[in-house]
């Protein structure tokens, strides 16, 4: 179903992983998409061409650094100028670092808070006025199971994702009588480059094979013993953009194989 035909979506951190899965899902539903993220120019050009030809939509790209507020605002302006408007904003960009609190590097704390939380505020602040003007908009924040529960050695990530869930609720309340909704998706383990790095680090640290580290990671947190997929996260994002989800507001929806049910 191309129920998002004519809509324009900005998806941050969308050149790989969950963000790319969401970009594909939105494009499949008919939305034009502004990609954002890191990558070599030829690879990004191929990605744009693939999305556009596969789904028959317009695909732009903005390389805004999510730690730079002025670049975030410029990205929203760029999407509006190139694609005509911004109807859907998916705040997905994120980074990770793990260490005990008393050993956590201050610069890593600052970077994680900037990209995983503060960037979402700046993007919402920039995009929301035009959504309110048209009385239609969808803001989807990609939080985490760590926005609902905590884990050791992830102080900055957990703080940022809890903050993102809180920001989601405030925006939802402030837009409650309008056609704009704001919700959060809280994935558990999704096999993305970010999670693969954690698996590889664990394998190296514990001197075990990567596959064993992968199984151990799932066994520790995710009762289903299976990774969620970017396509599943994307499908939920598309649903949250639909008319059927118009009264889902301020929700933090886990896609975590039972992680937060424990």
The yes-or-no answer on residue 157 being catalytic is yes
> What span, in angstroms and rounded, lies between the C-alpha atoms of 24 and 30?
10
CA atoms within 13 A on the CB side of 25: 24
C-alpha distances out from residue 211 to 48, 75, 172, 203, 230, Å = 33, 39, 41, 8, 20
CA atoms within 13 A on the CB side of 189: 24
What angle (nearest 5°) sits at the alpha carbon of residue 68, between those of residues 66 and 73? 85
Residue 106 buriedness (CB in 10 A; 0-12 / 13-18 / 19+): exposed
User: Which of 61, 157, 189, 259 is the catalytic position?
Assistant: 157
SS3 139: strand
Q: Which two tokens stand for residue 46?
A: 């191929």
Q: What secondary structure letter does DSSP report for 117? A: I
Report, as residue numbers or ranges, the catalytic residues: 157
């Amino acid at each position: 179903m191309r129920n998002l035909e004519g809509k324009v979506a900005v998806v941050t951190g969308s050149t790989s992983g969950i963000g790319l899965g969401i970009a594909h899902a939105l494009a499949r539903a008919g939305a034009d998409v502004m990609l954002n993220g890191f990558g070599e120019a030829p690879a990004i050009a191929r990605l744009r061409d693939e999305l556009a030809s596969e789904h028959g939509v317009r695909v732009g790209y903005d390389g805004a650094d999510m730690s730079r507020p002025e670049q975030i605002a410029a990205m929203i302006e760029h999407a509006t100028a190139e694609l005509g408007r911004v109807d859907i904003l998916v705040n997905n960009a994120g980074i990770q670092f793990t260490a005990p609190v008393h050993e956590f590097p201050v610069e890593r704390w600052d970077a994680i808070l900037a990209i995983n939380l503060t960037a979402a505020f700046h993007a919402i602040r920039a995009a929301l006025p035009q959504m309110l003007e048209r009385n239609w908009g969808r803001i989807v924040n990609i939080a985490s199971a760590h926005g609902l529960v905590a884990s050791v050695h992830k102080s900055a990530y957990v703080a940022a994702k809890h903050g993102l869930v809180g920001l989601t609720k405030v925006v939802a309340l402030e837009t409650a009588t309008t056609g704009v909704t704001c919700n959060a998706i809280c994935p558990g383990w999704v096999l993305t480059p970010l999670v693969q790095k954690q698996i590889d680090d664990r394998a190296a640290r514990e001197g075990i094979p990567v596959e064993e580290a992968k199984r151990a990671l799932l066994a520790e947190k995710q009762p289903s013993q299976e990774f969620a997929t970017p396509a599943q996260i994307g499908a939920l994002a598309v649903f949250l953009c639909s008319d059927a989800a118009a009264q889902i507001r301020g929700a933090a929806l886990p896609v975590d194989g039972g992680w937060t049910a424990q």
